[in-house]
Amino acid sequence: MLMKSVSLSLLNLFLLVSPLLAEENSKSSPSAPTMTQPQISLSDEEWKKRLTEEQYRVTRTAGTERPYGKIYEEFEKQGEGTYYCLCCGVELFTSKEKFHSGCGWPSFYDASTAKNVLERADHSHGMVRIETLCKRCGAHLGHVFDGESVSANTPTKRRFCINGVALHYVPKGGEAPKLLELGSSAVEKKKEAVAKEAGVSVSKP
């Protein structure tokens, strides 16, 4: 009887603690960024200031650019080079992984070796798809599709269907874009605004 009550109270304790543990696990640590907490996080207002309307719509609100647009035409003509995140400047793809799928959007069979492309399940629009995002800033890039006929001849048999507007192309030998840093003026201003709201004075240098 005693054993039973002990095990029951242990069970109760576990049930009490497990939701707390689950909550703790869902919080991301700096070494393993998830999309709920990207390394670079700006307010919508800050992104709007930095991006054009179309860039903002696609990258920050999971929009989709029109297929076979001007950006796609340019993409098809581009030679060797690297594709960086338009929002934060991190490397995402290179021309090595690029292939012609004919779908009307820039296509790659894999992310670059820099491994800055995250994948997560997307159940929007009544479909089950895999969304691709920038690991560093959470920018929506597009989706990735497996086992289609158009990617059958690629090494991975995958098609990263990417919005060209989310990419910043630099030809081989060109200078990589500057990474958007946490200490950028935009972030500092945001901190200042938050501190102001909280009634804390921020001394200016």
User: Which are the catalytic amino acids?
Assistant: 161
CB of 116 to Zn ion, least distance (A): 7
Q: How many residues bind Zn ion (CB under 5 A)?
A: 7
By CB atoms closer than 10 A (0-12, 13-18, 19+), residue 154 is middle
Residue 90's φ and ψ, nearest 5 degrees, are -80, 150
Min CB(141)–Zn ion separation in Å: 9
Cα of 158 vs its chain's centroid, Å? 18
166 contributes a contact to Zn ion by CB under 5 A: no
d(CA 68, CA 148): 20
In whole angstroms, give the CA distance from residue 66 to residue 53: 14
Nearest-angstrom CA–CA distance, 187 and 137: 13
Closer residue to Zn ion (CB): 42 or 71:
42
Instruction: Compare residues 149 and 185 and give the one whose CB is closer to Zn ion.
Output: 185
Instruction: List the x/- string, 122-141, binding to Zn ion by CB under 5 A.
Output: ------------x-xx-x--
From residue 75 to residue 104, what is the string marking binding to Zn ion with x (rule CB under 5 A)?
----------x-xx----------------
